[in-house]
Amino acid sequence: MLVPEGGLADRFAALFDGSGIDVHTTGDFTAWRKLLSNLAANPLTERRVDVFTEPDMARLASEVLSEAVAVARAEGAEIGERDVRKTLDLYAMNPAGGGTSMLYDRLAGRPLEHEHITGVVVRAGKRHGIPTPLNTALLTLLRALDQSIR
């Protein structure tokens, strides 16, 4: 587990001593890698996650993630295209038939979390003057979908 250095980091890490969970501090603590893990999988999986075995969907996911990497770098995150590949590899490890939290929310008629995932990328892109056409299109579609299930 990575936590930001300073503050209460050492005391927090001490809570896990002997638990088998390794806690490390880092100066580059951003939530961007976690965001990447959700960014393409959630809005693009109207079906189950094995949809990413289809070349066109894998390519779309890669492009959505690459837009986010450009934004994340402008925000100061030390990530790059290697993180895109690692995220796509993560998607490939999911069992066929598995779903995402956004899919399960939609199926249950609950509000979607798109503003906290795709919206983050779009808003940060605007702040930095970085175009995010794919993420913007997804956000528009997700907002419309969310309105239809309320």
Active site residues: 34
Do residues 89 and 40 touch, judged by C-beta distance below 8 A? no
Compute the C-alpha angle 45/49/54, nearest 5°.
Answer: 90
Beta-strand runs (E) in the chain: 2-4, 24-26
Do residues 60 and 115 touch, judged by C-beta distance below 8 A? no
* Beta-bridge partner residues of 25: 3
Read off φ and ψ for residue 96, nearest 5 degrees: -55, 140
20 burial type by CB count under 10 A (0-12 exposed, 13-18 middle, 19+ buried): exposed
